[in-house]
Every structure is written in structure tokens, then in C-alpha cells.
Amino acid sequence: MSAQIVPRILLNSGQRMPVLGLGTYQSKSDNVKEAVSYALDVGYRHIDTAYSYGNEQDIGEVVQEKIQKGLVKREDLFIVTKLWSTFHKPEHVIPSLKKSLANLQVDYVDLYLVHNPCGFKYTDESNLFPTDADNNVWYDQTDHMDTWKELEKAVDQGLAKSIGLSNFNKRQIERIVQSARIKPANLQVECHAYFMQKPLFDFCKQHGITLTAYGPLGAPTRLFSVNPNDPVLLEDPVVVEIAKLCGKTPAQVLLRYLIQMGRIVIPKSKTTNRIKANFEIFDFEISPENVAKLGGLDRHLRYYPFDWCKDSVEFPFRDSY
Ligand code: NDP
């Protein structure tokens, strides 16, 4: 299957971002290389990672190997990584991005996101979850605008083609949009059939910001904040029924639905047949009637409540959106 099959969405930076990418959270060295290599062979060109996932180096090795073998071109790839919360202070932003670039073995990333509006105290580059003397999360309150200005400099210096935000709420995004010299091109937030983020999506659209859906399959194997009472999205009877009608799997229906609703999706898998199946979503269409049925599932269900940073003054999910 050709990589050209994945449509691209135009960002306000002028870049074109594939609407399907491979997520890599919780993909470690034993399986991330195989997953990324296979995904590139299948035709994925968009890879989502983050400094905090600890797998940039593995991804960099695979990407470099594929480029050197002439199997992919750097300009066809869309690589996304994220600034971790311990690096919000202006003096840490560009050095942290340069570390990510070195890990990824590239001169620029296509999209650089601020991972989380909650800043943490910088102690050293490997301590991602610093705690104070009482063992509480050690927060840092760098003004988001000061961090953002450094991301703008990263664009000026050619280190990032586009810049954006992740896990920011409307109020926090609005503040950046009002004073930014370079507007955010993309917002990455949890989004799936149980949590379509319609108000935030509409707000972003008004401001020319695209929305990437993380946890698009309902993050069935997430590690944190697992509530055993949460319904399993992939097993929802409405999704299962529509999948049968379409001759597709529940995962394919959930991804296709998000794309039809204007979201960019980054399903994660380390399993080859799932990586391939998650890519095979451009050869069918969910009917308006079934789109309406899927719309009926929306229930503001957050699988990732981020309660580990709920005491931060910038905790984003206190606001309704
Ligand atoms: P997803 O909704 O993508 O679910 C991933 C899980 O679903 C994996 O355990 C995978 O299993 C399984 N899976 C994948 N494909 C299928 C399929 N076809 N059928 C059944 N099960 C399947 O959740 P994630 O939390 O991983 O979110 C996706 C990506 O979003 C992340 O990997 C990361 O890149 C990003 N993200 C960003 C966050 C942020 O704060 N900005 C937070 C969370 C995620 P297996 O691997 O075993 O095949």
C-alpha cells in the first residue's frame, strides 16, 4: 500500500500533516524499533513520540536506517515530539529540543509540542518526575508565554517546522493565541468516541489549530489511573455492530470515525497485524446514519485524567474544556 494513501491536513504553518500516525507511548526498545520499521514499510509517514517516552533514540535509529537505504525520504516523514514538563524554563527549551533532535538523528522535527501545561522543577535532564522534600510533585510555574517564545525561536532556527500544544485547555490555549508571534498549529489531546472534545475542537478550528486525537482506541492498556469501571471502547456494542456492517474491525471504525470528524489519529500498536489493520481505514466510509449513532456514545469520559499533576495551578482539566 502506498504512503500517498494517507490524506494530509494543511497546518497554519504551511506544512501538511498526515491524518494518521503511529503512537509510541509505552513502546520501549524491545518493540518500538520493530513497530516503527514495520509501520514505515506499510506506509505510515507520521510518527508520534515524546522526550518522556524514552524511545526517541530507538525511533531515530530506525528512521535513519530507512532513509539511508532509500526506503523513505526525510521530507516525506512527519515526526512529532514533545517538550517535557521539566524543561519549561526558557533556558531549557532549545537545549531539550536539540537533545530530542540528536536522539532522533534529524535536523528538525515536523511538529514540536509542549507536552503538558503543568511545569515541573528542573533538577537534571533524566529526572522527569521531581519530588520535593515531602515527596510531592515539585512544580515549576514558568509562564507558558515564556516557554512558547522559545518554541517560536525553534521555528526561526529551523529546528521545528511547526509548533503546538498538548493537554492545554481552552483558557490556556487562548492566552497563547492572543500573544503568540507564531500561532500553535496543532493541539494534541485525548479524543475518542467516548470523548469527542467537540467544544475544544470547535474552538481550535476557529483559530486555525488542528486537533490530534490521542488514545483514539480508548487506550486499553494504559498504565496510570486505570478505573476498572470504565467501559471498554473497543467492545462497545454500537461500535461492534457498525464494524460488522462495514466489514471492518472495531478499531478501524473508531479511527475512521475520528478522521471523518476532522481529527488526526495516532493509534499505538506494537503488533504487526494491528499496525497494518489500523492503516487500512481509507477504503471505506461510515454512513451519516452510523456517524450519528457513534455520536451518541460521547460521554466526556477521560481515560487519562492526569490526576498525578492535579495539584498544579495549571492543571488543565479543572475547566470544563
Ligand atoms: P490507543 O488508544 O492508541 O491504544 C493503544 C492500545 O491499543 C495498545 O495497547 C495496543 O496494543 C492496542 N491496539 C492497537 N491497535 C489495536 C487494534 N487494531 N485492535 C485492538 N487493540 C489495538 O492509546 P494510546 O494511549 O497509546 O494513545 C495513542 C498515542 O497517543 C500514544 O501512543 C502516544 O503517542 C500519544 N499519547 C499522547 C499523550 C499526551 O499526553 N500527549 C498521552 C497519551 C498518548 P498493542 O500495542 O499490544 O498492539
Q: Is the dihedral of CA 170, 226, 249, 42 positive or negative?
A: positive
Q: Which residue has its alpha carbon closest to ligand 1 atom 26? A: 268
Q: Name the phi and psi angles at 162, rounded to 5.
A: -135, 155
The three state secondary structure string of 166-183 is: ECCCHHHHHHHHHHCCCC
CA dist 276 and 83 (Å) reads 29
Q: What's the 264 CA to ligand 1 centre distance in angstroms?
A: 14
The H or E element containing residue 78 is: strand 78-83
For position 317, what pLDDT does the model report? 97
CATH superfamily of this structure's domain 3-309: NADP-dependent oxidoreductase domain (3.20.20.100)
Q: Give the whole-angstrom CA distance, residue 284 versus residue 275.
A: 18
pLDDT for 113: 99
pLDDT recorded at residue 228: 83
| Helix and strand element counts for the chain (H, E) | 10, 12
- For the chain, domain boundaries: 3-309
Q: Give the pLDDT score at 223.
A: 73
DSSP helix/strand/coil, 213: strand
| All three cell numbers of 82 | 514533545
Query: For the purposes of burial, counting CB atoms within 10 Å of the CB of 105, is it exposed (0-12), middle (13-18) or buried (19 or more)?
Result: middle
Q: Whose CA is nearest to atom 3 of ligand 1?
A: 267
Q: Is 321 a catalytic residue?
A: no
Per-residue model confidence as pLDDT tens for the chain (321 residues): 455 589 999 999 999 999 999 999 988 777 999 999 999 999 999 999 999 999 999 999 999 999 999 999 999 999 999 999 999 999 999 999 999 999 999 999 999 999 999 999 999 999 999 999 999 999 999 999 999 999 999 999 999 999 999 999 999 999 999 999 999 999 999 999 999 999 999 999 999 999 999 999 999 887 776 788 899 999 999 999 999 999 999 999 999 999 999 999 999 999 999 999 999 999 999 999 999 999 999 999 999 999 999 999 999 999 989
Cell of 80: 512529532
Catalytic annotation, pick one of 51, 53, 112, 257? 53
Q: How far is CA 288 from CA 72, 242, 243, 244, 294, in A?
A: 37, 12, 14, 16, 10
Distance CA 251, CA 99 (A): 34
271: which residues sit within 8 A by CB, 6+ positions away?
Answer: none
Among candidate residues 96, 125, 122, 92, the one with its CA nearest the CA of residue 109: 96
List all residues whose CB is within 6 A of at least one atom of ligand 1. 23-25, 48, 115, 166-167, 188, 214-222, 234, 249, 251, 266-271, 274, 277-278, 304
Per-residue pLDDT, 4: 58
* CB 213 within 8 Å of CB 191: yes
- Which residue has cell 513520540? 49
**Three-state SS at 83:** strand
Give the residue carrying C-alpha cell 486537533.
Answer: 211
